[in-house]
Amino acid sequence: MSTEIVHGRQKAGAAIAASAFKEFFRRFARKSAEVFGSAIAFAAAILIVLLWLLTGPAFHYSDTWQLLINTGTTIVTFLMVFLIQATQNRDSMAIHLKLDELIRSIKPARNSMIDLDQLSDQELSELHAEYLDLCQRRSARCGKATHAAKSDAQD
């Protein structure tokens, strides 16, 4: 068998494994977010901290006693950062896709607004300035109309 075929099969196998891992991680992150973001999980965390506090006198508030909670919370925090980020990335992408579909489907909307997340910071700043200017012009018109209405009401 030629080395090209072997390398091709290895790449295909690696791609399948990577895809399977991504799908496993997606499901795991989603389920973890549901479980660890629940009221029961919060109550369990409070219970763990209370149990740790109550064991303090038995361990004479030793360094080992403190190290136990510090290590536990550090490990949990480290792992949760990745789970939360993965969930937020997915949710953000879903929201962007929904907004893109709304923009695309509304005739007066500018289709150039689709995929704004791909613009540079400078381009986003320029667009933001454009909308601030539009808002200020609209507010100035509304302000004049409101001021005129107040004047008429006072007369």
3-25 pLDDT, tens digit per residue, is 676 666 777 778 888 888 888 98
What pLDDT sits at residue 66? 95
What pLDDT sits at residue 79? 92
Is residue 154's pLDDT more than 60? Answer: no
Q: Delimit the domains of the chain by residue range.
A: 3-118, 119-155
103-114 pLDDT, tens digit per residue, is 888 888 888 788
Q: Which candidate, 130, 87, 82, places its Cα nearest to that of 110?
A: 130
Q: Which candidate, 47, 49, 41, 45, places its Cα nearest to that of 66?
A: 49
When pLDDT is cut at 50, 70 and 90, the band that residue 143 belongs to is low
- The C-alpha atoms of residue 90 and residue 71 are separated, in whole angstroms, by 29
69 and 52 Cβ atoms separated by less than 8 Å: yes
35-87 pLDDT, tens digit per residue, is 998 999 999 999 999 999 999 999 999 999 999 999 999 999 999 999 999 88
